[in-house]
Amino acid sequence: MGMFLRTVMKKLRQGMFDPPKTFIWPPTVYYLPRNYRGQPYNLPLIELETRGCSWNIENGGCTMCNYGGQGRDLPSEILVAQASFALSIVRGSPYIHLVPIGSFYDEREVPEDARRKITELVRDSGFVEYMGTESRAGFVTEEKITKTVDILGNIQFEVGVGLESSDDIIRELIINKGENKASFLRFYRICREKGVVSATHVLLKPPFLTESEAIDDAVKSIRWSIDNGSDYVILMVMNLRKGYTLTNWLYERGKYKLPMLWSLIKALLDLGEEYSKKVVIGGLISSETMAISAKNCEKCTDRILSLLSMYQYTWDPDYLEEAWEYPCDCKERWKELMEMRDVDLPDRILRYYEEIALELFGRDWWNENKGWIEREVYEFERVG
Ligand code: SF4
Ligand SMILES: [Zn+2]
């Protein structure tokens, strides 16, 4: 339980839901470079504007995420109308991702009747043959999945969940995920039994980690996901969203840096082909126009991003190798970053916590509360 982070996140979210945001219409659609059935494919990602992620509304949410949404309940008709309009935008696309800005299987965000009608719209579109969505793993049950699969019939269904890291300390005390590994294992089992494709989001470079620790953590987390039943992994390269996130707050104070693209390539190469062929890249393209995404230097970023897109379109590992071998001075700077070391993670987490608390809550608050916060960090048990 990361009570300190929840306190921090609630403080940072102040103003996020109040007053409710201007409604986004048409619903957001953007395209991701993918390979579908052996062919280059621009995958449409449809984001439905909902009330927002319940984990965010009730517990402050994950430290890197600004999926705030409307902050007010929306009637099912509005959600269904968004899905209907978005499907008309992407008509003809056999493979789509249709996600709320939180969890498809959270009834407070997507009421059951809306979920059913949206699924029927996809089935009746006549062009979709593969639909993906997203949810927190804890909201997924056999019963809910069965209902969706029954409606979709021959359409292949996929659900993506956010593990972020398989390391319990990183997931709870740095990301504030609020889900244990048992929840993900249960999710993989349900998907396997129901013939649903399971996808797992893993984060490249949560805050507080050095560049090399971030690569190691991503590689370990990807391996853990696939070894435990995830069909594939979406490696989310950290980006920075507008306001209200801890990563953004740290970045503005010089306490966090996005990963360099060299780190992304290194992680994919370290995985080896057996695993990397089950990994797609996320986080470099976003619906958030103001998002800052991971980069190298001005000289090589565009070229490296193009090669990574080609890799995504073709799955040809030569593009990855070519990106890795691309000559640029900034690789020396990256090598220096890779050499950076810091104190053990619990000590480091506490150091960051103190810096955050002093600015957000003041010295008196920290002195009054640091006893339980220290226990939270030093007595944290990795329970799986
Ligand atoms: S990452 Fe997912 S679970 Fe976490 S706050 Fe964002 S939408 Fe909610
Ligand atoms: Zn460069």
Ligand 2: centre distance to CA 63 (Å): 29
Element (H, E) at 96: strand 95-100
C-beta of 139 in contact with ligand 1 (< 6 A): no
Question: pLDDT of 178-235, one tens digit each?
Answer: 999 999 999 999 999 999 999 999 999 999 999 999 999 999 999 999 999 999 999 9
C-beta of 67 in contact with ligand 1 (< 6 A): yes
Residue minimizing CA distance to atom 7 of ligand 1: 102
Q: Which ligand is nearest to the CA of 136?
A: 1
Q: Which ligand is nearest to the CA of 298?
A: 2
Q: How far apart are CA 99 and CA 48, in angstroms?
A: 6
Instruction: Assign 59 to helix, strand or coil.
Output: helix
Angle (CA) 207 63 66, round 5°: 125
C-beta of 282 in contact with ligand 1 (< 6 A): no
Q: Which residue has the tokens 């955050």?
A: 356
C-alpha dist (Å) from residue 29 to 32, 39, 85, 131: 10, 21, 10, 15
Question: pLDDT of 356-375, one tens digit each?
Answer: 999 999 999 999 999 999 99
Share of the chain above pLDDT 90, in %: 89
Residue minimizing CA distance to atom 2 of ligand 1: 102
Ligand 1 nearest-atom number relative to CA 164: 1
Question: pLDDT of 45-80, one tens digit each?
Answer: 999 999 999 999 999 999 999 877 787 889 999 999
Q: How confident is the model at residue 290 (pLDDT cuts 50, 70, 90)?
A: low
Question: Residue 274: pLDDT above 90?
Answer: yes
C-beta of 68 in contact with ligand 1 (< 6 A): no
Q: Which ligand is nearest to the CA of 300?
A: 2
Q: Which residue has the tokens 């103003």?
A: 15
Domain residue limits, the chain: 3-345
Q: How far apart are CA 223 and CA 207, in angstroms?
A: 21
* Of residues 74, 83, 77, the one with CA closest to residue 122: 83
Show Cβ contacts of residue 55 under 8 Å, excluding neighbours closer than 6 positions. 61, 62, 102, 136, 178
C-beta of 162 in contact with ligand 1 (< 6 A): yes
* Of residues 338, 303, 280, 254, the one with CA closest to residue 34: 280
Question: Residue 158: pLDDT above 90?
Answer: yes
Q: How far apart are CA 371 and CA 355, in angstroms?
A: 16
Ligand 1 nearest-atom number relative to CA 201: 1
Residue minimizing CA distance to atom 4 of ligand 1: 62
Phi, psi of 357 (to 5 degrees): -65, -40
CATH of domain 3-345: 3.20.20.70
